[in-house]
């Protein structure tokens, strides 16, 4: 499969303006994500997708391929879909696109393999999300997207509220979404063409658009510890966790 990774990034985050270029151990956070993603051997290319000149300038400074997209996008998946169209027009057919959110600086290359696995092993799977176990503090944090899954590891629902509500029960697993999300190329176009949905808007979670339109989202458990960055406090926490693994 010809698989590319696209890292959507914009400066206008409502919770943390300028987040992609926030310094983390002397390197902008976006740089950590890009450099770590690039180390995965199954990817034929890695691109940064943005609408901001500051991010394009940084991408050029580290030799990263950068695709400029519309400033109208509010969803990372829509920005990724536009970038995939541009890449395919210039570089040829793509089989799958791995969307890697620019706020996952603790990503390790093996996480991309974990996410791609269900696409490679099951031709009916159209989109995959990584998930990881969470503790009680993360379960209560609205910045962490929680997910409940069925017995086939397909997502039942995503929410910023705790899932399930009684998440202290010992026999009920509690997971968070990790934003490493491979799409089959054709499904990414299908997804981007879908009408945005009420639950997607209410929760501000892209994948609810797929669920509300009746598409399955396969979840894959990651064996790696990771924390995303949504706020300056998150950045300080991740900086501490990465003190011995900066790049």
Q: Give the residue among 217, 129, 202, 125 at the shortest CA–CA distance from 160.
A: 202
Higher per-residue pLDDT: 236 or 166: 236
Q: What is the pLDDT of residue 245?
A: 75
Measure the CA–CA gap between 221 and 161, rounded to whole angstroms.
Answer: 20
Higher per-residue pLDDT: 13 or 196: 196
Q: Please, which residues have CB within 8 angstroms of residue 240's CB and are 6 or more apart in sequence?
A: none
**Residue 165 predicted with pLDDT over 80:** no
Higher per-residue pLDDT: 233 or 247: 233
Q: How confident is the model at residue 164 (pLDDT cuts 50, 70, 90)?
A: confident
Axis crossing angle, helix 76-91 with helix 185-193, rounded to the nearest 10: 130
Q: What is the pTM of this model?
A: 0.94
Q: What is the pLDDT of residue 139?
A: 85
Mean pLDDT score across all residues of the chain: 93
154 DSSP assignment? B
Whether 106 is in a domain gets the answer yes
Whether 56 is in a domain gets the answer yes
Whether 246 is in a domain gets the answer no
CA 208 to chain centroid, in Å, comes to 14
Sign, CA dihedral 49-52-55-60, equals positive
Whether 247 is in a domain gets the answer no
Q: Is 8 helix (H, G, I), strand (E, B) or coil?
A: strand
Domain that residue 52 falls in: 3-241
Contact 73, 13 (CB under 8 A): no
CATH of the domain at 184: 3.90.550.10
Task: Report residue 173 as tokens.
Answer: 């697993």
Report how many domains make up the chain.
1
Q: How confident is the model at residue 244 (pLDDT cuts 50, 70, 90)?
A: confident
Whether 191 is in a domain gets the answer yes
Report CA-CA distances (Å) from 93 to 3, 45, 65, 83, 96: 10, 13, 17, 13, 9
Whether 179 is in a domain gets the answer yes
Q: How many other β-carbons are positioned within 10 Å of the β-carbon of residue 153?
A: 15
Whether 207 is in a domain gets the answer yes
pLDDT tens digits, one per residue of 97-135: 999 999 999 999 999 999 999 999 999 999 999 999 988
Which whole number is the average pLDDT over 49-71?
A: 97
Whether 182 is in a domain gets the answer yes
**Residue 208 predicted with pLDDT over 90:** yes
């Amino acid at each position: 499969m010809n698989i590319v990774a696209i890292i959507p990034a914009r400066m206008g985050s409502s919770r943390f303006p300028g987040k992609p270029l926030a310094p983390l151990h002397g390197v902008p956070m976006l740089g950590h994500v890009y450099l770590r993603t690039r180390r995965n051997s199954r990817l034929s290319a890695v691109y940064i997708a943005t609408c901001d000149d500051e991010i394009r300038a940084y991408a050029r400074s580290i030799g990263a391929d950068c695709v400029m997209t519309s400033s109208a996008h509010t969803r990372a998946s829509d920005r990724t879909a536009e970038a995939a169209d541009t890449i395919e027009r210039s570089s040829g057919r793509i089989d799958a696109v791995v969307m890697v959110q620019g706020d996952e600086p603790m990503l390790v290359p093996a996480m991309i393999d974990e996410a791609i696995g269900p696409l490679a092993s099951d031709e009916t799977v159209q989109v995959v999300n990584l998930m990881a176990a969470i503790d009680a503090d993360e379960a209560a944090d609205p910045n962490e997207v929680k997910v409940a899954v069925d017995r086939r590891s397909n997502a039942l629902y995503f929410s910023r509220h705790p899932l399930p509500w009684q998440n202290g029960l010992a026999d009920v697993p509690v997971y968070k979404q990790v934003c490493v999300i491979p799409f089959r190329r054709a499904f990414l176009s299908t997804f981007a063409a879908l009408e945005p949905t009420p639950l997607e808007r209410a929760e501000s979670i892209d994948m609810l658009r797929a669920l509300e339109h009746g598409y399955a989202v396969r979840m894959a458990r990651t064996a790696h510890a990771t924390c995303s960055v949504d706020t300056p406090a998150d950045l300080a926490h991740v900086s501490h966790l990465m003190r011995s693994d900066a790049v």
